[in-house]
Amino acid sequence: MKADVAGENLGWKAPDFQLPDLDGAMVSFSDTLGSKGAAVIFMCNHCPYVKAIMTRLVDDARLLKDEGIGILGVMSNDYVAYPADSPDAMRAFAAQHELPFPYLLDQDQGVARAFGALCTPDVFGFNAEGALQYRGRFDSAGMGSADGRSADLLNAMRHIASTGQGPAEQVASIGCSIKWRV
């Protein structure tokens, strides 16, 4: 599914949501949002698009974290219908990939709905005031080779951290649809 909404709703203020991490501790958006902004990535365990970017996502997330930019992963899929996205599977996935950011469970799918998330991965970048400045793809490589890739999220968040504004050009995410409860 293509989230054909690149750059949509720029300036929209993120709700200050709280979701449980994999240990049950509540993590809020406001606690993650620092003086340089934060990124929220809607992701899941079973999506081939997410699996394809994981090494690059972990590497880029470490760089952003070291630069003072917050990162959150949010899993909003209906894990009853898709057991590969269950909390136990999320724990295994996070351990396997050594995620350097909290991986949160959006069990009632309220955060995904509030954000208008459409697919996994769906990437949102916010400035220090919590205003949306980036809505687009993770990088240009997608499911392909990372050779010569454009690190869209990394570059966008660095730009946001230094200017408060997102890049002028933003490319829509491509991925698997969010698995909504019926």
Judged by DSSP in three states, 41 sits in strand
pLDDT digits (tens, 9 = 90+) for 39-86: 999 999 999 999 999 999 999 999 999 999 999 999 999 999 999 999
- Of all residues in the chain, what percent carry a pLDDT higher than 90? 88
pLDDT digits (tens, 9 = 90+) for 83-128: 999 999 999 999 999 999 999 999 999 999 999 999 999 999 999 9
**With contact defined as beta carbons under 8 Å apart, do 159 and 166 qualify?**
yes
The DSSP 8-state label assigned to residue 2 in this structure reads E
Q: Is 46 exposed, middle or buried (0-12, 13-18, 19+ CB in 10 A)?
A: middle
Query: What is the spatial distance between Cα 91 and Cα 103, in angstroms, rounded to a whole number?
Result: 9
**What is the CATH code of the structural domain delimited by 2-177?**
3.40.30.10
**Count of beta carbons in the 10 Å neighbourhood of residue 31:** 14
Provide the residue ranges of all domains of the chain, joining segments of one domain with +.
Answer: 2-177
